[in-house]
Structure 1
Amino acid sequence: MLDYEIAPATMTEHKSMKDIATMSKEEVLKFINSFDTIISDCDGVLWVFGNPIAGSPATINKLMSLGKKVLLMTNNAIISVQQYVKICRVLGMAIPEEDIFTPATAIARFLEAQDLARTGGEVFVLGSAALKAHLQQRGLRCSDTSVAVLPEELGVLTAELNKLSTDVRAVCVDTDINLSYLNLMKAARHLRDPECLFVVGATDANIPITEKDVYIGPGYFVSVLQDHTGRVPTVVGKPSRFLADSIVQERGLDPARTLFIGDSLLQDISLGRTAGFQTLLVLSGCSRLAEVQADTRPDYYISSLSALLPLLPGN
């Protein structure tokens, strides 16, 4: 059960973490001057349960006005990058498409690195329509995963499985609201081929929708395929370093002068630490200070991104 209540903590309990709200103006200025680029999570940082967190967009805009480059990174590929641009625009943030990174962009980058588009191999996708559309826009061919209601007969299922495309070179798994047993079996059949890539975006076991409602995440279906096939997937979504490293290389970032902002200790702070970024935990989302472990300890924390706004230079 996820608990979204912010647990109180003292600086004595977390000596190695700095509470920005208690820092002096000089310390805050030193902190702001210590990074050039911000990579921020979305849900739990900019909005929560679909509702904007008051003051967070204004904080992002203020940081950009101070010369900071802001990139967004989310583990949610159910909606498209273009939809994220629109959401940001509605909230008053001008974040261009090329500065938003999702499991769809991570999977596409990975498959492009394998030269899959040039060789013409198909991708079997257990994921959203937005993920499939993104891969197709990047020149990758996606297998047809549409499924009609089948008679509940073993012979019919076997006949369908015998129709598998022989061109599939990769199986990609992410959140799939329309997941079917047939497509799960097809994915498993494709993965019998040791040359077929097994690529995963998000690995979240649970997807929090509201404080009381948590949905099943793609991590469970990845586990089913892994257990059934014995294959170990390549994970390219958070907390894997793949996407972070590709962004660092593409943008020429200095990890030590990059700040990663997130609300999840396991997904965000863990990734930020392994990538060599500075890390800021905001307590407006899913993680609490009481849950901090040695390998998920952020450099800084604050109650919410909006609480940072009055502390910034010029305010």
Structure 2
Amino acid sequence: MNDSHPQHILHLSEEQQKKFLGSFDRVVSDIDGVIWNMYNTIPGAPEAFVALEKTGKELTFVTNNSVRTVEQAVRHFEKIGMSVRPEQITHPSQNTVDYLRQINFQGLIYIIASPPFKAVLREAGFQLIDGPNEIIDENFQSLAKKIFDQQPVNAVIIDVDFNMSSTKLLRAQLYLRNPECLFMEGATDRFLPIGKGVNIIGPGAFTNILLEASGRKPITVGKPGRELGKLLVEKYKIDQSDRVLMVGDMMAQDIVFGRQCGFQTLLVLSGGCTLEQLRSETDPSHIPDYYADSLADVAQILGQSRKSHF
């Protein structure tokens, strides 16, 4: 029911709420900004997911946060009263492994990413090089020694790296001069919300530098990548996309991803998007079917629905 004026789920009539809850069998949800943020659990979110599961909904979590491992996420879910299995979580590093295996990739990878991301690829048997990880002298001779390389790199992969440097980007740019070199990205977020009203530059901004410098468009295995959509549909054997509800707090990542996949979409305002930003958005691909202040609103509807024997 997407239009330029999405409805707040608590403003739906009781009959519309009942119809909404009956319109999907699986929930595909973001994590950060939906269930918890950097410091706290978002009130009502765990209760909403527990209630959704009790009504028979399948739960899948799709994150762009590769700094936190799947195992760490599972433990965090447990702390807040949710039982989530590793196979329910779709993670950028594992998406990368799945895609590389799907295309039968062979060869050396130059990677700009966090240590946990690199560890997943190494454990999967891929050969990686990275760096430079030290500060270089401020002269062209020192720079040239670090960015010009004769190693046969067959792929450049970029994701979140809190030690990002211009030297790493320059090195990646030079590898990408080879048209046969694969170019991949995980997380696409241009900004990362780390607190109320505080956003820091995200990996998407650095990927855009490489895109502009190389003229190469990356294969995207994070939200809102089409390749990720294909992997997810295949992994969870989704045959009715319109029976899936995508929940997220970012329009450019979560809502665009959901709409590309043919899912219904619910934007929550508990993370990286404000009501003002939602109201001022004009791109139809960014506008959700529904919105809510947080998943506590879903918990409230489910509470009402249980009373009416939904």
Q: TM-score, normalised by structure 2?
A: 0.89
What aligned pairs does 1:164-313 form with structure 2 within 5 A after superposition? 164-166=150-152, 168-253=153-238, 254-287=240-273, 288=275, 289-293=278-282, 294-312=284-302, 313=305
The answer for the alignment partner of 1:64 in structure 2 is 53
Aligned residues: 298
- d(CA) in 1 for partners of 2:266 and 2:173? 39
Write the deviation string for residues 112-142 of structure 1: whole angstroms up to 9, x where unpaired. Answer: 22212xx3x1211111111111212222221
* Bigger Cα displacement from structure 2, 136-145 vs 49-58: 136-145
* Bigger Cα displacement from structure 2, 83-92 vs 279-288: 279-288
What CA RMSD, in Å, does the superposition of the two structures yield over aligned residues? Answer: 1.9
For residue 114 of structure 1, the aligned residue among 103, 117, 121 is 103
- d(CA) in 1 for partners of 2:178 and 2:116? 27
For residue 147 of structure 2, the aligned residue among 161, 166, 171 is 161
The answer for the alignment partner of 2:306 in structure 1 is 314
The answer for the alignment partner of 2:126 in structure 1 is 140
The answer for the alignment partner of 2:70 in structure 1 is 81
1:127 and 2:113 correspond:
yes
- d(CA) in 2 for partners of 1:162 and 1:43? 38
Q: Describe the SS at the equivalent of 2:306.
A: coil
Q: Describe the SS at the equivalent of 1:63.
A: helix
The answer for the alignment partner of 2:15 in structure 1 is 26
Q: Which amino acid aligns with 1:141?
A: Q
Query: Aligned-pair distance for 1:57?
Result: 0.4
In percent, how many aligned pairs have the same letter? Answer: 36
Q: Which amino acid aligns with 2:183?
A: F
Q: Which runs of 5+ in 1 are unaligned?
A: 1-13
Write the deviation string for residues 11-67 of structure 1: whole angstroms up to 9, x where unpaired. Answer: xxx775332212233322222121111001112211133311111001101111111
Change (3 A) 1:169 1:302: same
- d(CA) in 2 for partners of 1:105 and 1:291? 35
Query: Aligned-pair distance for 1:92?
Result: 1.1
Change (3 A) 1:146 1:86: farther
Q: Which amino acid aligns with 1:277?
A: F
The answer for the alignment partner of 1:104 in structure 2 is 93
Query: Aligned-pair distance for 1:295?
Result: 2.5
Q: Describe the SS at the equivalent of 1:172.
A: strand
Q: Which amino acid aligns with 1:110?
A: Y
- d(CA) in 2 for partners of 1:63 and 1:198? 38
* Bigger Cα displacement from structure 2, 72-81 vs 292-301: 292-301
- d(CA) in 2 for partners of 1:243 and 1:104? 12
Q: Which runs of 5+ in 2 are unaligned?
A: none
The answer for the alignment partner of 1:5 in structure 2 is none
Query: Aligned-pair distance for 1:164?
Result: 4.3
Q: TM-score, normalised by structure 1?
A: 0.88
Q: Describe the SS at the equivalent of 1:48.
A: coil
1:80–1:134 contact (8 Å) kept in structure 2: no
The answer for the alignment partner of 1:9 in structure 2 is none
The answer for the alignment partner of 1:93 in structure 2 is 82
What stretches of structure 1 move > 4 A for 4+ residues in a row? none
1:164–1:186 contact (8 Å) kept in structure 2: no
Q: Describe the SS at the equivalent of 1:47.
A: coil
The answer for the alignment partner of 1:11 in structure 2 is none
